[in-house]
Amino acid sequence: MILLRKLGAKLPLTGLAAGLLLALAACGAPAEDGATTATTDTVAPQATAAPAAPAQPTEPPAAAMTTDTGGKVTLMNAVWATELFTPRDGVGETATYGRQMHAFWINGNENVEMLPGVLTDWSVSDDGLSWDLTIRDGITFHNGDPLTIDDAMFTMDYTFGPEAITESISPSIQAEASETASIEATGPNSLRVTHTSPKAFFPFFISELSFGIAGVLLPKNYFEGIGQDAYNDAPIGAGPFRLEKHVISEQILLERYDDYFLPERSPSFQTLDMRLVPEVATRVAALRAGDVDVIEANLSVKDQVEDGGGRMIWSQESSYMWILLPGCWEVQFPCNKKEVRQALDYAIDKDLIIGQLYGPEAAAAKGWNWATPNALGYSPDLDPFPYDPEKAQQLMVDAGYPDGDGFGTLEIHTWKAGDVPFLPEQAQLIADMWEKNLGIDVDVIVGEAATVRERWFDRQLDGKVIVRANETRWDGGSITNAIYGNPEGGAHLGGRRDDLVKVAKDALAVVDPALRQEAFNQAYQILREEHYEFGTGYVNLPWGVGPRIASWEPWPVVAYQTAIWTMRLN
């Protein structure tokens, strides 16, 4: 298998690329690599722009309903992250189980449109500062308690109130909480959330289309009666499944909740048995043996899945490959100079990375980070910089680092991701390209996702590089706010520059749906030029499914498993 270079030992680019090809051909996905994604046979379909609110409340289509209500589906994931159930504790991977157990303020569909969920209606004030939200009657939590305005107020305050600024682990929630001016009940079934600046992305952020579980509803009496820690040990929600059993790092067993308030989205089977299995080889073996019905897969195991009687189903445009340069406002770091930041990008051959590790059906060098081809604000001129080592070298000369002289050793920090396979191998390819094309020494350090995130937020990785995966999303308002609009936040990348804060805030202030595409596109053009972050493209998530699964229709531009109610059993 491939061993990453440590402490400056040299490995030629051509040797690494050849070794990767041999390893992938001989072994499939590395057994020790918990990564599990990235392939499709088609380009993602064009997603419909999500409206700020429906003109009239509409329900999701009833086509997924079935009279067959028995059976069990066993599903294996590679990563669950925190394994906690509150929005403050949520990161992207918590959506794997959070979408199944919780009710969201706003639902979504396969066209990336927002639909009524717990909310029947949402509208914004003329100045864009206040959102009026109306909750529906007839919703019950898994313990039978009705969901009321008290639960809605408690959840909104817990998620976006003052304590969330310091208590949440999500930079996007922290940024949102810091700009939440008030949360007030305006009627027996209505509340108003007011921000200090316009937040057109707010409905999307609290929808099931967004990353993680920022939009889930909590039961006030139950939560306050047992406390946060005990709630995470024995959570209840108002979603289509209730928790039956949770074994840390092993199993989340869910049973269908028959009183779920949207019967047209109720699953056609009784039990969802989720298992955490980081090793892709183990997941494939279980699928071939008939012990599991659905697994996170990747391109290298496609033949094994199909030879064993299974097939692949694709979640298209599901994640993107993200390169971050934190702390570059500090003058002592070479990345303080835009020429260096841009040179690092020009020196990366994205087509080689995609060709060596993923294949053109599995990934594409398209988009600017979260502005993927089907996202709000995308245009082709946001696509990654072309491979141009000569231009990269000239930029390094202009920055005062010819052939890397005086640059010092650059560290790349990465991890084994659940939504993008072979991320450490990609980081190694990038390191070799920088050494070959720019003459700088680079070390690749593979750590745990939670640790790398924590060190980033604590400013311990300033002046270094992070190569990571992240979830796609149609509306990138919340992450734009966290990365550029909140200069004191731990996730900030934008140089703490007033001009870039203004660029982000101006785009976020545009509330008219007809104007948001152009506003975000213009902002992204400016932020891309500054290059505090860039990427190598997006990937598509493949699922290996066994013969018991007759059909399933996961959504594009939304990470992890979605639309479980569309899953039909043979």
Tens-digit pLDDT profile for residues 509-526: 999 999 999 999 999 999
| Closest-CA residue to 270 (of 100, 62, 99, 68) | 68
Spatial separation of the C-alpha atoms in residues 367 and 399, rounded to whole Å: 27
What mean pLDDT comes out for the span 360-374?
Answer: 93
User: Which segment of 132-136, 382-386, 507-511 scores lowest on mean pLDDT?
Assistant: 507-511
Looking at the predicted structure, is the pLDDT value of residue 25 above 90? Answer: no
What mean pLDDT comes out for the span 280-285?
Answer: 95
Q: What is residue 69's predicted lDDT score, i.e. its pLDDT? A: 52
Considering the domain delimited by 13-25+37-41+317-540, tell me its CATH architecture.
Roll (3.10)
Q: Which residues pair with residue 251 across a beta bridge?
A: 247, 275
* SS3 at position 324: strand
What mean pLDDT comes out for the span 531-557?
Answer: 95
Looking at the predicted structure, is the pLDDT value of residue 505 above 90? Answer: yes
Q: What is residue 8's predicted lDDT score, i.e. its pLDDT? A: 30
Q: What is residue 23's predicted lDDT score, i.e. its pLDDT? A: 42
The residue with greater pLDDT, 92 or 146, is 146
Looking at the predicted structure, is the pLDDT value of residue 13 above 60? Answer: no
Structure tokens, 394: 């000239």
Q: What is residue 189's predicted lDDT score, i.e. its pLDDT? A: 97
User: Which segment of 55-59, 65-69, 81-85 scores lowest on mean pLDDT?
Assistant: 55-59
* C-alpha distances in Å from residue 104, one per residue of 57, 183, 535: 15, 18, 31
Q: Quickly tell me which residue has 């930029």 as its tokens.
A: 395
126 C-beta neighbours (distance < 10 Å), count: 7
The residue with greater pLDDT, 8 or 382, is 382
- Does pTM surpass 0.85? no
Q: In b/e form, how buried is each residue of 326-361, taking b as 16+ CB within 10 angstroms?
A: bbbbeeebbbbbbbbbbbbbbbbbbbebbebbbeeb
| Closest-CA residue to 470 (of 57, 153, 79) | 79
Query: What is the separation of C-alpha 168 from the centre of its chain, rounded to a whole number of angstroms?
Result: 17
> Residue 464 corresponds to which amino acid?
K
Average model confidence (pLDDT) across the chain: 88
| Closest-CA residue to 450 (of 100, 37, 79) | 79
Domain 62-270 has CATH 3.30.300.130: no
Looking at the predicted structure, is the pLDDT value of residue 55 above 50? Answer: no
Spatial separation of the C-alpha atoms in residues 324 and 228, rounded to whole Å: 33
DSSP characters over 66-100 = -S----EEEEEES--TT---SGGG--GGGHHHHHH
What contacts 154, CB < 8 A, 6 or more positions away? 218, 220, 223, 224
Pairing of strands 294-296, 409-415: unpaired
Phi first, then psi: what are they for 363, rounded to 5°? -155, 160
Which stretches of 60-193 are DSSP H helices?
Answer: 95-101, 149-160, 164-167, 171-178
Binned at pLDDT 50, 70 and 90, residue 172 comes out as confident
Contact assessment for residue 459 and residue 36, using Cβ atoms and an 8 Å cutoff: no
What contacts 381, CB < 8 A, 6 or more positions away? 525
* SS3 at position 319: strand
Every domain of the chain with CATH number 3.10.105.10 lies at 13-25+37-41+317-540
Contact assessment for residue 225 and residue 99, using Cβ atoms and an 8 Å cutoff: no
Convert the pLDDT of each residue in 433-489 to its tens digit.
Answer: 999 999 999 999 999 988 999 999 999 999 999 999 999 999 999 999 999 999 988
Structure tokens, 27: 């072994």
Spatial separation of the C-alpha atoms in residues 450 and 437, rounded to whole Å: 32
Query: What is the separation of C-alpha 176 from the centre of its chain, rounded to a whole number of angstroms?
Result: 17
Looking at the predicted structure, is the pLDDT value of residue 540 above 50? Answer: yes
Convert the pLDDT of each residue in 141-158 to its tens digit.
Answer: 999 999 999 999 999 999
DSSP 136: P
Binned at pLDDT 50, 70 and 90, residue 178 comes out as very high
Phi first, then psi: what are they for 567, rounded to 5°? -75, 120
Binned at pLDDT 50, 70 and 90, residue 90 comes out as confident
Q: What is residue 33's predicted lDDT score, i.e. its pLDDT? A: 40
Phi first, then psi: what are they for 135, rounded to 5°? -95, 150
Convert the pLDDT of each residue in 117-129 to its tens digit.
Answer: 999 999 999 999 9
Q: What is residue 10's predicted lDDT score, i.e. its pLDDT? A: 31
Spatial separation of the C-alpha atoms in residues 106 and 98, rounded to whole Å: 14
Binned at pLDDT 50, 70 and 90, residue 89 comes out as confident
Spatial separation of the C-alpha atoms in residues 237 and 388, rounded to whole Å: 52
Q: What is residue 47's predicted lDDT score, i.e. its pLDDT? A: 41
Structure tokens, 17: 């690329």
Structure tokens, 88: 């403050």
Looking at the predicted structure, is the pLDDT value of residue 48 above 90? Answer: no
What mean pLDDT comes out for the span 278-295?
Answer: 96
Q: What is residue 353's predicted lDDT score, i.e. its pLDDT? A: 96
| Helices and strands (H, E) in the chain, number of each type | 18, 19
